[in-house]
Structure 1
Amino acid sequence: MVSIDSISILHEILGYEKPNHPLITWIDLNTIKPKEQFYNVSFKLNFYMISLKNSSECELIYGRKNYDFREGSLMFAKPGQLLAKGARSDNETTDGWMLCFHPDLIRTSTLWNKMSDYSFFEYEANEALHLSDQEKEIVERIVQHIQVEYSGNLDTYSNELLISNLEVLLNYAKRFYGRQFITRTAVLKESVEKFKMLLKEQCTAEAIARSGMPRVKGLAQALGYSPNYLSDMLKKETGKTAQEFIKLQMLELAQQLLLHTKDPIYRIADQLGFEQPSSFTKFIKLQLGVSPAEFRRQHGG
């Protein structure tokens, strides 16, 4: 595995001209000439990447319907993401571009503290953002502003303008993902029902004894989604995240065991996958406002 820690190393690996700025770059994928030794090699990118694929042949593992836009697929990756370049093909062409920026560019800015709001940086490639012509035009116009800014003579305003344009780009991406969720309502409603059924199956005393508490990562993997995409999808469709659904389902099971069994509190805590009875007590207090023992007494358990 090759770790790419800087923009200049990325340019070198891709056989691309020297970068104009040490912390941000735009690369035309049509013109790259990767070195032979880097084919069939895994890379770890230690910066943020936004990549647009201009192709009508963008196959996804799930969720593709006739109403999806096909003009372009916008993908996002956060630092530490693993990527791989396949074997060289004689007819190989890549129509698109990628915008990369190092965390140091934004580390001292307000954008740094907002990056967790842009959860799509942790989506899988098959959860790419499919842009309409109008959306693609907006994205590329902002990217052009960024290119002009870092390619010119840098001054005291350069970083502020670069970062503000990046934030505008990310906010548009958030809006466009919201549109994508809306246009996929039929598919997503079906996925929500599958999620609820799977969660119920995994949230029984028997299932927890076998596999432990349900986890967002495991549920997402079973449904073919990344954890962030699953939570964002559920939030858009139901108003609740995946973790909130898990808490509610665990609470329902805990209430059933408290009211309909005579098992001591410590045993119920163990059945539900809590390592310590005190953690179970804290969970019930946070959700119901009373301790497990008090809940039993109040409801005649």
Structure 2
Amino acid sequence: MNDIINISSIHDYNEFLGIETLNPLVTFIDFRKINILKHKRKYFGFYGIYLKEKIHGKLTYGRSQYDYQEGTLVFVAPGQVAGIDDGGETLNPEGYALLFHPDLLRGTSLAHKMKEYTFFSYEVNEALHMSERERQTIFNCFTEIQEELHHTIDKHSRNIITSNIEVLLNHCLRFYDRQFDTREAINRDVLTRFEALMLDYFNSDKPEQNGLPTVTWCADQLHFSANYFGDLIKKETGKSAIEYIHLAVINHVKELLASTSKTISEIAYEVGFQYPHHLSRMFKKVVGCTPNEYRVQDRGI
């Protein structure tokens, strides 16, 4: 029941579902045409965008399980493992999926832009929740791609399909921006929790043991994926997550400079720097002066 099946190609996935492969690098799936969907955890060798309207069972993604909510978009990237591993099946499933292999993108402008679509590395509980209008926009993009897949493959096929995929992904970026905007209260709560996390971190012995906190560690403590956490912080503060962490570090250093007579080296090691000059470099970049200059100015000497 816990076996993971390797689905490395589009043909592999179509064969798993028992449907025809129209293009070896991309497929569009209407789950209403599949009578029985067997629950399996799958290793994906391609990108996937899922809009599932009806599914029974908890979706396993990475190390976590989530109840799949209807009407949401979930994104899967090559190398990820996802699926339902309860040994069951869904009768007469509903929903859609667009799957495309990285080879489809080679030599196209979209290949260079894929890193911008950070939602492919979000967790399932960070899925895109769409309004009915947004859902229709996504479905229109699906329809354009589906129609092209039924066209005879020629020299224009790849460009037309990848262009439509790019339009689809850009809509997803817009809708995620809207989702961040409409969750301002939740996002502010995340910032409050993050600031408390930083305070607790620097008031413990973790800095000397583990060094400076990383984006991945902070995201994990707050139960987010690193990419989602980074995008949320950027949206709320205008700063990257690592910039925001560095700001928290510097604020703590300022307190130590003002309230203690510890040397710069002592402070550097206490807050997690491996070398004192790394603190001085970061401090000057953020504050505009060295730690010693700041201490002199703060004390009015």
Under TM normalisation by the shorter chain, which class is it?
A: 0.7 to 0.9
1:22 aligned onto 2:24: yes
Seen in structure 2, the aligned counterparts of structure 1 residues 132 and 58 have a Cα distance that, compared at 3 Å, is: farther
SS at match of 2:17: coil
Match of 2:285 in 1: 286
Match of 1:146 in 2: 145
Amino acid in structure 1 at the alignment position of 2:45: N
**Which deviates further from its counterpart, 175-184 or 198-207?**
198-207
Tell me the distance in 1 between the aligned counterparts of 2:239 and 2:126. Answer: 20
Seen in structure 2, the aligned counterparts of structure 1 residues 82 and 249 have a Cα distance that, compared at 3 Å, is: same
Deviations 1:123-180 (A, max 9, x none): 1111111122211111111111111213311222221111111111011111111222
Structure (1/2) with the larger strand percentage:
2
Q: TM-score, normalised by structure 1?
A: 0.84
Tell me the distance in 2 between the aligned counterparts of 1:240 and 1:58. Answer: 38
Match of 2:63 in 1: none
- Whether the 8 Å contact between 2:37 and 2:93 is mirrored in structure 1 is no
Tell me the distance in 2 between the aligned counterparts of 1:56 and 1:91. Answer: 6
- Whether the 8 Å contact between 2:256 and 2:267 is mirrored in structure 1 is yes
Q: CA deviation at 1:107?
A: 2.6
Amino acid in structure 1 at the alignment position of 2:49: I
Amino acid in structure 2 at the alignment position of 1:153: T
- Whether the 8 Å contact between 2:35 and 2:93 is mirrored in structure 1 is no
Match of 2:73 in 1: 74
- Whether the 8 Å contact between 2:36 and 2:89 is mirrored in structure 1 is no
Which ranges in structure 1 are unaligned for 5 or more consecutive residues? 61-69
Match of 1:261 in 2: 260
Match of 1:108 in 2: 107
Tell me the distance in 2 between the aligned counterparts of 1:48 and 1:83. Answer: 12
Tell me the distance in 2 between the aligned counterparts of 1:255 and 1:80. Answer: 43
Tell me the distance in 1 between the aligned counterparts of 2:276 and 2:34. Answer: 58
Deviations 1:219-276 (A, max 9, x none): 2222222222222223323333332221111011122333433333332221121222
1:129-140 equivalences under 5 Å are 129-140=128-139
Match of 1:52 in 2: 51
Tell me the distance in 2 between the aligned counterparts of 1:56 and 1:134. Answer: 22
Amino acid in structure 2 at the alignment position of 1:82: V
Pick aligned residue for 1:5 from 4, 8, 11? 8
Which ranges in structure 2 are unaligned for 5 or more consecutive residues? 60-68
- Whether the 8 Å contact between 1:44 and 1:81 is mirrored in structure 2 is yes
Tell me the distance in 2 between the aligned counterparts of 1:248 and 1:274. Answer: 14
Tell me the distance in 2 between the aligned counterparts of 1:71 and 1:27. Answer: 17
Q: CA deviation at 1:210?
A: 4.9
Tell me the distance in 1 between the aligned counterparts of 2:70 and 2:161. Answer: 26
Match of 2:240 in 1: 241
Tell me the distance in 1 between the aligned counterparts of 2:196 and 2:58. Answer: 28
Match of 1:252 in 2: 251
Tell me the distance in 1 between the aligned counterparts of 2:147 and 2:163. Answer: 14
Tell me the distance in 2 between the aligned counterparts of 1:83 and 1:155. Answer: 33
- Whether the 8 Å contact between 1:71 and 1:131 is mirrored in structure 2 is no
- Whether the 8 Å contact between 1:75 and 1:125 is mirrored in structure 2 is yes
SS at match of 1:54: strand
Amino acid in structure 2 at the alignment position of 1:224: H
Match of 1:65 in 2: none
Amino acid in structure 2 at the alignment position of 1:158: S
Amino acid in structure 1 at the alignment position of 2:275: Q
Tell me the distance in 2 between the aligned counterparts of 1:91 and 1:297. Answer: 69
Amino acid in structure 1 at the alignment position of 2:109: T
1:201 aligned onto 2:204: no
SS at match of 2:96: strand
Tell me the distance in 1 between the aligned counterparts of 2:175 and 2:215. Answer: 24
- Whether the 8 Å contact between 1:231 and 1:242 is mirrored in structure 2 is yes
Tell me the distance in 2 between the aligned counterparts of 1:171 and 1:277. Answer: 43
Q: In percent, how many aligned pairs have the same letter? A: 36
